[in-house]
Structure 1
Amino acid sequence: MPRKKHSKKEIEEALNYAEELGWRVEVGGGHAWGKIYCPYNDKECRCGEFCISSVWSTPKNASNHAKQIKRVVDNCTARDTDPEE
């Protein structure tokens, strides 16, 4: 079953970008719209600090939040060392 789309176009595009790179998007839970999870789940990857990131439903600036999501995905240190790529 496809996940629920985010209401902000910029954030939805960032979530699609994350999914293309293997990140899992889960909708719901707490105050956030959802969360994204790193596919590598590596404890050595910056101490796991960026292996999970919240996605807000109504950020002050949707464009900035979308950039933040892409930055988390792009800065994943485990992705740079993946032997299967």
Structure 2
Amino acid sequence: MARTRHTDKDVEAALRHAEANGWRVELGGSHAWGKIYCPYNDDECRCGEFCITSVWSTPRNGGTHAKQIRRVVDNCTTHKAEREKKNAEKD
């Protein structure tokens, strides 16, 4: 079943980016549109601090909130390590 689209186009694009990188998007939560969950949920991945991130329903600035979501997804230490490992194997 497909999830509900976010009303802000920039945030929706960031959520699609997260899903493309294996993150799970769940709707609902206290005071949030939903949450995104890291696919690894690794103890070494920044102490699990960023393995769950809230997605606001009406952010003050949708573009900034979208950048924050992308930053969390792109800076996942476990994902970065796997990406670097694949790049090293190609070389």
Report the TM range for the smaller structure's normalisation: over 0.9
Q: Counterparts in 2 of 1:31-46, with a 5 A limit?
A: 31-46=31-46
Contact 2:24–2:37 under 8 Å retained in 1? yes
More helix by share: 2
Structure 1 runs of 4+ aligned residues shifted over 6 Å read: none
Match of 1:49 in 2: 49
Gaps (5+ residues) in structure 2? 87-91
Contact 2:24–2:39 under 8 Å retained in 1? yes
Q: Report the CA distance between 1:81 and its aligned residue.
A: 2.4
Q: Counterparts in 2 of 1:7-26, with a 5 A limit?
A: 7-26=7-26
Give the TM-score normalised by the residue count of structure 1.
0.94
Match of 2:78 in 1: 78
RMSD over aligned CA atoms reads: 1.4
Structure number with greater Rg is 2
Gaps (5+ residues) in structure 1? none
The one-letter code sitting in structure 2 at the alignment partner of 1:81 is: A
Match of 1:58 in 2: 58
Give the TM-score normalised by the residue count of structure 2.
0.88
SS of residue paired to 1:54: strand
The one-letter code sitting in structure 2 at the alignment partner of 1:47 is: C
Please say if 1:68 is aligned against 2:37. no
